[in-house]
A and B are shown apart, each in its own frame.
Chain A
Amino acid sequence: MSPTQTIFPSHPPLSVKQLSMRYHHKPVLTDVSFSIPEGKTIAIVGPNGAGKSSLLKGIMGLESIIEGEVKFFGEDLNRKRLATAYVPQREEIDWDFPINVMDVVLMGRHGHLSLWKRPSRIDRDIAEQALKDLNMWEFRDRQISQLSGGQQQRVFLARALAQQANLYLMDEPFAGVDVATEKAIIELFSQLKQRGKTIVCVHHDLNTVGEYFDWIVFINARLVAAGPVEEVLTPENLAKTYGGRLSLLNDLTEQLYRSKVNKIHDEGA
């Protein structure tokens, strides 16, 4: 062990303990717990409606959670904001918005800028490097609606890169992108890993998950399995994840939420 590690005991970049989320009375995720190692690529995998994006949003505090604890490098998110970058789904925004590529990437610097400060020369240099890393520098003055789907995704990744974080949480970066972009993302992953960064992605292509990622978290409303690819990418785990939800489990959880028992149960305690 190197001396720095003994002085600062290393915490996992992300650990989730008993996280539960719901939409009105419908359980979305229940009792999800896992923690991930540093410097790896991690895929969150599961069928449609399994709660993958919700998990990411719950972790980032973008959707409310009913119970659970999320730690970033052993701390609350607010103390590790600058070390954490989030890449939302491409479909979630209006690409007709009047803005060009450079200005979108500069948004990645706003976590560092207070109140009415504008991006400085240094911020611009960082954004420039991020765009170059994703082969998008020549598009810097392009209005974003004039980009292809893959180029839009690369702009989002460049924006996250400009945050210079240690942990990256990405919602389906591979969805609907062209081959060139897919290659660019893989290249980016390996560069980030070399610098000891950690990447967590919602991913739904089972054909590539073993090749692109070191670790998998299987989700289907609950945690099915989490661990290194070679250990958890098994037919049993795939069957459990994709073999339909445990309907009785979910029905009863929904009943529990409707009854408000879980709200009043511990009131006297």
Chain B
Amino acid sequence: MEAWNLTHSVSMWDNLAAFWRFEDINALWVLSGSILLGMSASVIGAFAFLRKRSLIGDALAHAALPGVMMAFLLFQSRDPVVIFFGALLSSFVGFFIIDWLPKNTKIKPDAALAITLSFFFALGLMLLSYIQGAELENKSGLDKILFGQAAAMTESDIHLLAYVSLFILITVALFFQKFRLIAFNRIYAQSLGISVKSYELLLALLIVMSVVVGLQLVGVVLMAAVLLTPIAATRYWSNQLTPMLLLASTIGALSALISTQVSYLAPAMPTGPWMVVSLSLLFMISLFFGTNKGLLKRWLETRALRKRVAEENILRTFYKLSERQQERESFSMADVQGMRNMQASQLHATLDQMLRKGLILSQSGGYRLSESGMQQASQLTRRHRLWENYLMQQAELSPDMVHQQAERMEHILTADEETKLQAELNSSHADPHGQPIPQGKGERHD
């Protein structure tokens, strides 16, 4: 620690270089410890998240504060093991109150959580201000557990942190199957005779442990984010729990790496906020760019759908135009707009796109369907009119209403569904408006 205070005035680059040369063995310890914590907290937090008990981590972290202060007051020591057990004890007391209140009184779980959280936090703050006013040795740095300070951690702090994190990771790996079963379907797990209560207690113990060892790094106030943000981010990448857990622990580790770095470069900066901000950035990246329902992907899909629907609508318009005016060879944009409501700019863009795809051909100042365009247009028209007939047969609707529905349905029907519709209908060759239904492939008739 001392070495760092001395080199404080040196430039940031020198600091960074010194950090990565691991001249200070403590820096290496802090780094690996915080990475382990980032991993274990995000893995154990995943189960709280999946069981829809997300806020429990927040409450337990706040509930640890009075325990830390009491342990310090009683033993007059900053020994990490003493502090750890103090925090563990008071977190568990908080856990049981949160659990007991809704079961035995009229208070609902969310209220029980909020009441317990604020009460314990207030108690912890009172004790902290008492300690700061009192004549006690060793008390400096105790307030750091509010927001976390990696650079202020001692070697023995880090050792404990590393051991506890490893313990959590190993336990989750061992009991993964049972934890997942209980998170997915608690009542079924119970029906199998699995002692759900003991596993839930074990899960609670692991969460409390990870919260308590994380206090010095992340702080009481922000610990919940480290438990929940990683797993929430992974929902935008995967649908399977194992890859999700692996990714969540990577995200946790990455944010730990970033924030520990910052804490060393600028020791005045608290680690917790940096960790949470970097986590939130990773979350936002996932939200926008995730391959599993990420916003960008959804936006692209909607855009592609919009383009396809516009294109198909114009194909249909050309089909109807040539059906009605068979003598004409080509049609103008005005003809198209006469039958289809569409802004000129969008119409223009869509026509260009269709020209490029070879669905329409430009001819004597207008456009007409190409061979492939004609094929697609008659298929769409066939689906449209089949659906109209089907609706007329199955539901009590006017021909007007069935047309509106068919305008939408034509875009999503598949060849398979088309065959099914055909089979359900008596072989009629005209739609409810008297228009002929174009024949599908391989069943031409004359």
Which A residues lie at the B interface, using CB under 8 A?
57, 60-62, 77-78, 81, 84-86, 88, 92-94, 97-100, 103-104, 107, 110-111, 113, 115-119, 143, 145, 159, 163
Given contacts A88-B187, A143-B240, 9 further A-B contacts (CB under 8 A): A85-B191, A88-B191, A92-B187, A98-B50, A98-B240, A107-B185, A111-B192, A116-B177, A143-B239
**Does A88 lie within 8 Å of B188, measured CB to CB?**
yes
A sample of 30 cross-chain residue pairs with beta-carbon separation below 8 angstroms, ordered by A number, consists of A60-B191, A77-B193, A85-B191, A88-B185, A88-B188, A88-B191, A92-B187, A93-B185, A94-B52, A94-B184, A97-B184, A98-B235, A98-B238, A98-B239, A98-B241, A98-B244, A99-B184, A99-B241, A104-B184, A107-B181, A107-B184, A107-B185, A110-B189, A116-B174, A116-B175, A116-B177, A116-B178, A117-B177, A159-B188, A163-B192
B177 touches A118 (CB 8 A): yes
A159 to B183, CA, bound (A): 16
Majority-rule SS of A interface residues: loop
Bound-state CA distance A97–B180 (Å) is 10
Number of B residues with CB within 8 Å of any CB on chain A: 25
Interfacial residues, chain B to chain A (CB-CB below 8 A): 50, 52, 174-175, 177-178, 180-181, 183-185, 187-194, 235, 238-241, 244
- The contact of B190 among A62, A85, A159, by CB within 8 Å, is A62
Which A-B residue pairs are the 5 nearest by beta carbons?
Answer: A86-B191, A81-B193, A111-B192, A116-B174, A143-B239
A118 contacts which chain B residues (CB < 8 A)? 177
What is the bound-complex CA distance between A107 and B52, given in angstroms? 20
How far is the CB of B185 from the nearest CB of chain A, in Å?
Answer: 5
| A38, B191: Cα distance in complex, Å | 21
A163 partner residues in chain B, CB cutoff 8 A = 192
Interface centre among B175, B177, B244 (most CB of A within 10 A): B177
Judging by beta carbons under 8 Å apart, are B193 and A78 in contact? yes
Please measure, in the bound complex, the distance between the C-alpha atom of A97 and the C-alpha atom of B239, giving whole angstroms.
8
Complex interface: chain B residues within 8 A of A115 (CB): 174-175, 178
The chain B residue sitting closest to A87, CB to CB, is B188
- B189 contact set on A, CB distance < 8 A: 107, 110
Residues of B within 8 A of A93 (CB): 184-185
Q: Which of B190, B191, B240 contacts A99 (CB 8 A)?
A: B240
Which of B180, B188, B192 interacts with A81 by CB under 8 Å?
A: B192
Min C-beta distance of A52 to chain B, whole Å: 16
The answer to whether residues A97 and B177 also contact, given A60-B191, A81-B193, A107-B188 and a CB cut-off of 8 A, is no
Contact A99 B194 (CB under 8 A): no
Least CB distance, B254 to chain A, in whole angstroms: 21
Question: Contact between B240 and A110 (Cβ–Cβ < 8 Å)?
Answer: no
Is A97 within 8 A of B183, CB to CB?
yes
Looking across the interface, which residue of chain B has its beta carbon closest to that of A95?
Answer: B184
Of A60, A100, A110, the contact of B181 (CB 8 Å cutoff): A110
Nearest chain A residue, comparing its CB with the CB of B180: A99
A110-B177, A118-B177 known; A97-B50 Cβ under 8 A: yes
